[in-house]
A = this chain, B = another copy of it.
Amino acid sequence: MNDPFKALAHPIRRGIVERLAEGPATVGEATAGFGVSKPAISKHLKVLEETGVVTRVVEGRTHRLSLEPEVLSVAADWMDQQRALWERFFDVVDEYLSEKEST
């Protein structure tokens, strides 16, 4: 699975991303207070890792997580592109209408 949208579709995973956006953190730090068991956290992290949104480096018995912002860029760019196309469509319509009106 390599779909950043799917990875960000769960609020807990977006919460983890939000915390990592402020700097790298261990699993415990990045996931405290979500009110969910440790295995659940572990699975969410796996999803984020598999899509490349988050990377992990093992330091002794703790794991340090980092955000990988390029993947977010890909998704954000897709959205911006759809919006841009949509706005271009309206430009074309306006142009057509004003041409029609002037004849």
Contacts and interface: CB of A to CB of B under 8 A. Distances in A.
A9 interface: yes
The oligomer's copy count stands at: 2
Nearest to A83: B69
A69 B89 contact: no
Interface of A is mostly: helix
A46 to B, nearest CB: 17
A99 interface: no
A77 to B, nearest CB: 8
Nearest to A82: B21
Contact of A22 (B3, B5, B8, B89): B89
A38 interface: no
A9 B3 contact: yes
